[in-house]
Amino acid sequence: MKSSMTKATHGGMIIIHAKIPRPTGVIRAGMWQLKDNYKHMKKKLLLLGLLALHYSCNEKENTEKQVTMVETAPVSKQTIVLSDQYPAATVALQEVELRADVSGYITNILFRDGQQVKKGQLLYEIDKSRYQANLDQSQSRLRIAASNLERAERDLDRYQKLKEGNAIAGQVYDNALTDLQNAESEMMAARAQVANDQTNLQYASVRAPFDGTIGFSAVRLGALVNQGETLLNVISSNDPIGVDFFASEKNLSKFQSLMNDREGTLADSTFTISLPDGTLHPEPGSLENMDRAVDRETGTIQIRLHFPNPDGTLKPGLSTTLRVKAINGAPVLTIPQRATMEQMGEISVFVVEDNTARERKIQPGRKFEDRVIVENGLEEGQQVIISGMQKLTNGDKITTQNRNPE
């Protein structure tokens, strides 16, 4: 295939005309092949686009059809009586150290460590032999003093009659009077000595000063004890028992009102304690004493309650949790605790609106039992989701199963 060119001039310009021959058969076949391939590729791309569009629509339709089943509970208003909690400790209302009032050897121990004892019960005996001997001796001296006093009285009476008859000198009468006065003094001294020796003999027998529980003995049989120095044991009362706690000065007026309520008109306000293992003491307590002043450093005041303790369950020094019920209950909004979710320090719940889960932030209050008070963020009657929240996001479609207020 050859081409030809012609040259011409026009207005001083040279114009060249080239004549390109038509493609040969081979070239024409190649061009038609490219055109067919392009059409075939275009059909494939169109088909793939239609398939992708169909798949996308199906996915959207499937997504729209997915609805999460959840369980809900209503936001309910309840009148509840809340309790304030305080750490507290039990104290014995009476507690004394038993010490020896006389010196000597322990000859008898008449109790078991830790047992309940009654007032006047004999606990220890200290060697009485020398105290009994001292008493015997002082009693003998008392008898001698009594005889001397009797003789002096007879002498003075006789000299009185003789003096009246001027039968004796006045000096003799005066001496008899002095002898009587001395005999009376000796009699008084002898009586005092007998009383002292009787007391020492009594002190050799150590008795319980009141009903209570005695501790572990600090001495053993045969031990030497010294007067006023040796600690024998400690005894404490246990029924009733005291419970001490510290209340903030902000609550002072509340406890003062309870102190003044001796007739018990504020019946809703009660005091209960639980033991370290969580066991609730069966008897409620009563407010008895309040310290004279608030501690300026801590801003608290010490308060003491009395709790019945007939079986001795409560021991002095026991750590307890004191619960003080509020004076008046108030209606508040509550929801189950398991409806709440916490994230980054914020508490939220899912509420149901038009079969859609909507996340709402709330301001929770105090917890009680398995519910929580809602201070702000919800209204009475709204439904909150209490199960399946982990599968939800804000705006998801849901189907609900209602639950009555818990």
Only one residue has tokens 């190649």, namely 30
Assigned superfamily of 239-325:
Efflux pump adaptor protein, beta barrel domain (2.40.30.170)
Portion of the chain with pLDDT greater than 90, in percent: 38
| Domain definitions of the chain by residue range | 22-63, 68-79+330-402, 101-235, 239-325
Average pLDDT, the chain: 82
Could you tell me the pLDDT band of residue 403, with boundaries at 50, 70 and 90? low
- What pLDDT was estimated at residue 32? 47
Neighbour count for residue 266 (Cβ, 10 Å): 15
As a whole number, mean pLDDT of residues 34-45 equals 61
**CA angle in degrees (0–180, nearest 5) for 296-301-303:** 165
**CA angle in degrees (0–180, nearest 5) for 226-231-235:** 140
Please give the class, per CATH, of domain 68-79+330-402: mainly beta
As a whole number, mean pLDDT of residues 113-121 equals 93
Please give the class, per CATH, of domain 101-235: mainly beta
Q: Are strands 398-402 and 383-387 parallel, antiparallel or unpaired?
A: unpaired
- What pLDDT was estimated at residue 126? 95
As a whole number, mean pLDDT of residues 236-262 equals 87
**Statement: residue 357 has pLDDT above 70:** yes
Q: Which residue has the higher pLDDT, 159 or 34?
A: 159
Full-model pTM: 0.59
Of the given ranges (12-16, 89-93, 175-179, 232-236), which has the lowest mean pLDDT?
12-16
Q: Which residue has the higher pLDDT, 270 or 12?
A: 270
Q: How far is CA 81 from CA 285, 323, 330, 365, 370, in A?
A: 18, 12, 7, 14, 15
Per residue in 192-246, pLDDT tens?
Answer: 999 999 999 999 999 999 999 999 999 999 999 999 899 999 999 988 999 999 9
3-state secondary structure of 262: coil
Q: How far is CA 390 from CA 57, 75, 341, 349, in A?
A: 27, 20, 10, 11
